[in-house]
Amino acid sequence: MKNNIGYISFVFFFFIGQTVFGQEKNREKASLKGKEAIQLMDSGKVDESILLLKEAQNLDPANITYPYELGYAYYLKKRL
């Protein structure tokens, strides 16, 4: 019985660790895409930046930067 509890604990913490690590990787990917999108937006490539910002938002939906930048990109697109 003691061995089963150890095994179950190991499996539980392994999957928790994988989930947390996976979320962190998504945040890093989102951050890189967001930075690239802002550079594209600054150089006038608004449509390309919108695509990257949408991808970043899908990877890290809790980050409020991406909806803000998307709104600004749509504003710029309307102005152009």
Quote the pLDDT of residue 24: 87
Interatomic CA distance for residues 43 and 53, integer angstroms: 15
pLDDT of 11 reads: 46
pLDDT for 7? 53
**pLDDT for 46:** 97
Per-residue pLDDT of the chain (80 residues; tens, 9 = 90+): 555 555 555 444 555 555 545 678 999 999 999 999 999 999 999 999 999 999 999 999 999 999 999 999 999 999 87
DSSP assigned state of 80: -
Say what the pLDDT of residue 22 is. 61
Question: What pLDDT shows up at residue 69?
Answer: 96
Cα 28–Cα 34–Cα 36 angle in degrees, nearest 5: 105
